[in-house]
Chains A and B, each alone.
Chain A
Amino acid sequence: MTTRPELPRSELLAAQATAWAWLGTPGIWWTGAERTAIVAETRHAAFCAHCRTRKHAAIPAAVLGTHDTTSTLPAPALEAIHRIRTDSGRLGETWYRRLIGPDLDQADLTEGHYVELVAIVAITVAIDSFRAGIGQAPLDLPLSMPGLPTRITPPGTKPGLAWMPVLFPDDWTPPTPDLYRRLPGPPERGRGHIHHALSLVPEAMIAWWDLFEPMYLRSSEMRDFTQEFRAISHAQIEMLAARTAALNQCIY
């Protein structure tokens, strides 16, 4: 008699539970309550009439209107959440620059706020999509934990690669969290540009990759064709990844 493997994999469930709980904790730029509101808004954006109209417009910015919202988040945050959720493939730097300013209290969105928001939206989308995919109901909103954001920008960030500054692996120094898993070595993350994308907020970068790798593959597993690490093959995994990217109009 064969033993039925645990489904879903315990590593997958644990990673999702950790990421979901993280969403409700105070972040670097947003409070726990604000982060939970971003999760709720991410879900709500899928049903926004304004987003639906813009999705079908040749020039999204030319469509005037307001988002259907479920929160009191600042207007630039709402715009960011809704566009990232519903039309991410057509986001451009001009759009990003219009959202960003130095002071959230003046209705701007700082780059730190924005990067953390991107991670929250991505984690919400990933976990919600997974549960829908396997036929499970969405999780309840994460529990908001009290506390204040630390608002710490890591030293050593540089502009040039992305729209916002990034922290390259060679510029990382303690006590910034070990976002590229350089210790004890060799580094486990940081080879591709995508690893740098959220590095302005290292905690957000770590939260995303700790979730994503069990869903996909670790870097070392991607290149190890001597064995399969999932119940589907490397070829099937890469085909699904490419298909998903194409459907989302992602050129990365």
Chain B
Amino acid sequence: MNGNPTSGIQAGGILSAFAEAILANADNLAQARSAVVVALGEAAMIDAAAVVAGFNGITRIADATGIPLEPAKAEETQSWRGALGIDAFDNLKS
């Protein structure tokens, strides 16, 4: 992934910016939304918003119940989890 999680994915940067704007309810949300519509169409924008919103909910379920990652998934993702700093999130829990 060359350190860029959006590389190689069509309109990855635009979609990523849309996700960030939704989560932050940012001032540039309308602009980010329009960029997705221009690049991929309205149906894609709606489906992208649905994925972001759904994961905005489900991450709270995972974190608020203490559900662990499945062992097979943890092993499969071990190499890049560390590289992306995801494992460090675990040290912040209190």
B45 with A134: CB separation less than 8 A: yes
Is A53 interfacial (CB 8 A cutoff)?
no
Give Cα distance in the complex from A12 to B12, angstroms. 23
Q: Which residues of chain A (201-252) have a CB below 8 Å from chain B?
A: 208, 211-212, 214-216, 230-233, 235-237, 239-252
Residue numbers in B under 8 Å from A2 (CB-CB): none
A88 with B60: CB separation less than 8 A: yes
- CB of A224 to closest CB in B, whole Å: 16
Residue ranges of B at the interface with A (Cβ–Cβ < 8 Å):
5-6, 8-12, 15-16, 18-20, 22-23, 25, 29-30, 33, 40-70, 84, 86-87, 89-90, 92-94
Q: Is the interface of A mostly helix, strand, loop or mixed?
A: helix
| Of B16, B70, B90, the contact of A251 (CB 8 Å cutoff) | B90
Residue ranges of A at the interface with B (Cβ–Cβ < 8 Å):
5, 7-9, 12, 46, 59-61, 80, 84-85, 88-96, 115, 118-119, 121-123, 125-130, 132-135, 161-164, 192-194, 196-198, 208, 211-212, 214-216, 230-233, 235-237, 239-252
A248 with B56: CB separation less than 8 A: yes
Residue numbers in B under 8 Å from A93 (CB-CB): 66
B94 with A212: CB separation less than 8 A: no
Residue numbers in B under 8 Å from A233 (CB-CB): 9-10
- CB of A14 to closest CB in B, whole Å: 13
Give Cα distance in the complex from A121 to B42, angstroms. 28
Residue numbers in A under 8 Å from B58 (CB-CB): 122, 126, 194, 208, 212
What total of A-B pairs shows CB separation below 8 Å? 224
A247 with B23: CB separation less than 8 A: yes
A134 with B68: CB separation less than 8 A: no
A244 with B19: CB separation less than 8 A: yes
B53 with A197: CB separation less than 8 A: no
Given contacts A91-B93, A122-B58, A130-B50, 19 further A-B contacts (CB under 8 A): A7-B43, A7-B46, A9-B47, A61-B94, A126-B57, A130-B49, A133-B53, A162-B67, A163-B66, A192-B70, A193-B67, A212-B57, A236-B9, A240-B55, A244-B59, A248-B55, A248-B56, A251-B69, A251-B89
A193 with B5: CB separation less than 8 A: no
Give Cα distance in the complex from A198 to B11, angstroms. 35
Residue numbers in B under 8 Å from A5 (CB-CB): 43
A119 with B61: CB separation less than 8 A: yes
A90 with B64: CB separation less than 8 A: no
